[in-house]
Amino acid sequence: MMAETNELEILEEPLFILESGDVYINPTEVKMCQLILPCHANHRGELSAGQLLKWMDTTACLSAERHANCPCVTVSVDDIDFERTISIGQVVNIKAKVNRAFNTSMEVGITITCEDPSSGTQWKVCNAFATFVAKGTGLGKVQLKPTVPRTSGEQMEYSIAAERRRMRLHHLETIKDLVSSSTIQEDPSGEEWQSAVPAGKTRVESIELVLPPHANHQSNTFGGQIMAWMESVAAISASRFCKGHPVLKTIDMFHFRGPSQVGDRINLKAIVNNAFKTSFEVGICAEAYHQEDWDRKTHINSAFLTYVMLGKDGELSTLPRIKPEPGDGERRYREASARKKIRLDRKYIISCKQTEVPLSVPWDPSNQVYLSYNNISALKMLAAKQNWVLNCTQNKAKLFTLEEGQFLSFKVEMSVSVNVKQVFTLLSDMSRRHEWDTHYQKFELIQKVDEDDVIYHVISPSVSKGSNFQDFVLLASRRVPCAVGDPYLIALRSVSLPAAPPTKDLVRSEVLCAGFTLWEEDDTHTKITYYIQATPGVLPYITRNITGLSADVCKVTEACIKFLELNKDIASVAL
Ligand code: COA
């Protein structure tokens, strides 16, 4: 799983030594270690995805319960990409820890590695994130105590967890909007229809009785058990379609809408929704029939799993088309096409390492939510870096630099006598940036994506003398704090957009990551930190002219402080 990981990339966080001299271990950390036996494997001798999901859920749940001090239930598990399989005889290591507690829910980060005891090699398999809610003994909600991140890795996960939560909570709505507005794949030609598999042939229905071993000590069914049942029914539907044993590639987010208990019957229904050239989507739905009233049924979960079929040589096989059933089947067929596009975009933007994401990702509605996430999380990651070197102090500003591989990053810290909400309002209004930043000579709003994201075009003087003016197409994403103690954020990154193509008069330039973090010092003071990651294109100029850059930064900083202090009273504080 996760293509970018291999034997060389298991990077353990450096040890964090406490004042007592002891090595710090996160108090919520839980580890599970399992030897893969034939009973855990499918007919190919590979660990079944359902079994892995069960172990992941159990480990994560025990970690959540360590933090909550009471029983917890699974609310959701984020999308998972399966890129590598695990075989009989190998050992799977699962490590879970609570990244952040919100109000009643918490995000648990799960890391899965695999080892081959015969060769001693180890490799990282994947990372996953699950959300749990504490379920006390009474009926009321359980308010969780906050988590306190200690190491730099924990601080980064804590910070980005807020952004992942935002994405999760909007997930259903986002997918619905995208599916309803997406353009649909062309229907197959007459010839393809003739060889198409009727979707009805892939329909599977199965039932499970929830018994005590499937549930916790409060009789709530384990989320991992439901996921495992769903995966095994989906696999039957998938094998009916391709007349063989396909391989699971991805699972879209699982969301547990309602609970089920010991004694309930879980009805599972699966069908192939659509087939593409080499992959196909199976939809699976789980409903609970409650023992106290058999007529009462609750829809507890729906999921979409993507499979591929491998030939003898391990190459992807070309698949037949599917002929959807009229009505609902046709709707699912079209929705599956839209989800495929969303999945590809997500993988492209989110699964890549920051340094591998192309500078200007094409913007479109199907990747908007992931680009916005990427924009904010890149800024948070840059802000969490540890080895900044103080370069100079000029008046009220401090300039730091950080060299990492091919990237050189800058950080400017300053303090202003202005309330943080006013600073946020003024700095996130990109149409006013030219008032203090001479690099923003011309500004044009291209698209207001939503309340927190805008795309704009800016023209600025060239960094090197005698060259043409440069232009940028930037996505600006802003966030108010998720909880007390979090900063306000304004993140910027380049995107490309057909509405703003490069022109021959201007040099199209790019920003990978830039932005502001704003920390409230008190009611009338704000600490502003500005970050920018210099792209390889401007590095030669910057490294030749670090003194010029410091003077420039100093000038812009002074202008920014002046602008904020002058305009603070007219800044709207209605956020
Ligand atoms: N992903 C992540 N978190 C989610 C979420 C999702 N899709 N939907 C809701 N949440 C979070 C909310 O943010 C909230 O957390 P917060 O208090 O920290 O802000 C928390 O879940 C509760 O949400 P809320 O809307 O107040 O409650 P609800 O009435 O929708 O109930 C559950 C939420 C989890 C209690 C309910 O959906 C449930 O019982 N689900 C089944 C859980 C279960 O039994 N799982 C095991 C397998 S059956």
Range 536-541 average pLDDT:
58
Confidence of residue 33 (pLDDT cuts 50, 70, 90): very high
Range 129-157 average pLDDT:
90
Q: List, as one string, the DSSP characters of 403-418.
A: EETTEEEEEEEEEESS
Residue 98 pLDDT: 98
Nearest CA to ligand 1 atom 8: 169
C-alpha dist (Å) from residue 353 to 5, 272, 348, 356, 368: 11, 32, 10, 5, 18
Instruction: Name the residue with tokens 């009474």.
Output: 138
Bin 164: left if φ > 0, else alpha if -120 < ψ < 50, else beta: alpha
What helix, strand, coil percent values describe the chain, rounded to 5?
30, 35, 35
Cβ-Cβ contacts under 8 Å for 465 (sequence gap 6 or more)? none
Pairing of strands 72-77, 121-134: antiparallel
Terminal alpha carbon distance of the chain: 42
- Ligand 1 centroid–CA 294 distance in Å is 25
Residue type, 113: T
Range 561-570 average pLDDT:
89
Cβ-Cβ contacts under 8 Å for 374 (sequence gap 6 or more)? 349, 350, 357, 361, 493
CA–CA separation, 400 and 413 (whole Å): 8
Per the CB < 8 A criterion, the answer to whether 298 and 285 are in contact is no
Neighbours of 172 (CB within 10 A): 12
Residue 438 pLDDT: 85
Residue 470 pLDDT: 86
Residue 180 pLDDT: 74
User: Please, which contacts does 21-27 make with residues 24 or more away whose CB atoms are closer than 8 Å?
Assistant: 24/150, 24/151, 26/97, 26/98, 26/150, 26/154, 27/66, 27/67
- Ligand 1 centroid–CA 335 distance in Å is 25
C-alpha dist (Å) from residue 161 to 49, 121, 511: 25, 31, 24
3-state secondary structure of 444: strand
Residue 210 pLDDT: 97
Cβ-Cβ contacts under 8 Å for 191 (sequence gap 6 or more)? none
287-319: burial string, b at 16+ Cβ within 10 Å, e else: bbbbeeeeeeeeebbbbbbbbbbeeeeeeeeeb
How do residues 186-226 score in pLDDT, each as one tens digit? 566 666 677 899 999 999 999 999 999 999 888 999 999 99
Range 135-149 average pLDDT:
88
How do residues 296-309 score in pLDDT, each as one tens digit? 899 999 999 999 99
Query: Is 7's pLDDT higher than 70?
Result: no
Mean pLDDT across the chain: 87
- Ligand 1 pocket test: pick from 70, 99, 105, 221 the residue with the most ligand atoms within 8 Å of its Cβ: 105
Domains, in order of start, for the chain: 1-155 (3.10.129.10), 191-347 (3.10.129.10), 368-566 (3.30.530.20)
Dihedral sign for Cα 564, 567, 568, 574, please: negative
CA–CA separation, 58 and 29 (whole Å): 13
Residue 185 pLDDT: 56
Q: What is the largest CA-CA distance in the chain?
A: 80
Give the pTM.
Answer: 0.86
Bin 466: left if φ > 0, else alpha if -120 < ψ < 50, else beta: left
How do residues 492-529 score in pLDDT, each as one tens digit? 999 988 888 999 888 888 888 899 999 999 999 999 99
Residue 21 pLDDT: 82
Nearest CA to ligand 1 atom 48: 259
What residues does ligand 1 touch, defined as CB less than 6 Å away?
A: 73-76, 102-105, 131, 133, 168-169, 220-221, 223, 226, 255-260, 300
Confidence of residue 386 (pLDDT cuts 50, 70, 90): confident
Nearest CA to ligand 1 atom 21: 105
Range 418-434 average pLDDT:
93
Query: Is 446's pLDDT higher than 80?
Result: yes
C-alpha dist (Å) from residue 352 to 113, 212, 344, 363, 378: 19, 41, 12, 16, 12
How do residues 71-126 score in pLDDT, each as one tens digit? 999 999 999 988 788 999 999 999 999 999 999 999 999 999 999 999 999 988 88
Question: Counting atoms of ligand 1 from 1, which one is nearest the CA of 301?
Answer: 48
Nearest CA to ligand 1 atom 26: 104
